[in-house]
Amino acid sequence: MANVNRVYSSLRLRRQYVLKSIFLCFLGLAMSGVFWPYRAAAEITLSKDFANEIESAGLVFNLDVLRKFKVTRVLPNKHFKYRLALKHQRIPFEVRYAIRHLNPVKGIRTEFLLEPYVSASIMNMARMEDSDPVMTGPTAFAVDDVRAEFGADWGITSMIGTRATFSKYSTGMVSVIYLQEKGVLAYSIYLFNGKASDETMQIIREIFYAMQFRRSAHDAVNVQ
């Protein structure tokens, strides 16, 4: 009987050891991203200059909705300069942010300058086919919608096929909002490959309002 007890005790200890080993193995795989789709949220730190630029432009930048992204390198290019690039941690997807100031032209109403200026800047990002840019739109937001959703006076979206010298991704969606009081244009550029899948559109929806204009003094730049 003593021998049986010793064998049973030995088997029980071995079973506990095996179960513990399996648990630690799965835990390690989960933390490495094999079974868990996202690593721990990377800390996104804005440069002091860009944070100040956001603040002076009257913008709010919400980093909380960008927890599945990490900072990636800003690529020098002659087509369109931007200040921040974030790469998705799991799929080939990147978002870039830029701020522009639209200077008034004497004798011309600002609203007449907006679409030509913005369209030209988006065309610079788009590749050319038969001397024409691969571009759909721009499509304007309804005034009430852009005001309610972004705190802006005007906004557009456009789809483009991107220049290889601007992006390694083949497709882009560009969203631009404008606040007349500040004369500021805020660009959000979403980059991915091929047609926009359901997953891609879900990611865009999650981060679509990351950058918007401040409604009140209570809003602040969310710099982590």
| CATH code, 48-213 | 3.40.1000
Give the global pTM.
0.77
Q: How far apart, in whole angstroms, are the C-alpha atoms of residue 43 and residue 41?
A: 6
Phi, psi of 21 (to 5 degrees): -65, -40
Q: Report the Cα–Cα distance between both ends of the chain, in Å, rounded.
A: 64
169 in Cβ contact with 162 (< 8 Å) = yes
Identity of residue 105: V
Tens of pLDDT along the chain (224 residues) come to: 544 445 345 545 455 544 455 444 434 434 444 333 334 445 788 889 999 999 999 999 999 999 999 999 999 999 999 999 999 999 999 999 999 998 878 888 887 889 999 999 999 999 988 888 899 988 999 999 999 999 999 999 999 999 999 999 999 999 999 999 999 999 999 999 988 899 999 999 999 999 999 986 434 444 33
Cross-strand pairs, 100: 185
Looking up tokens 């560009």 gives: 174
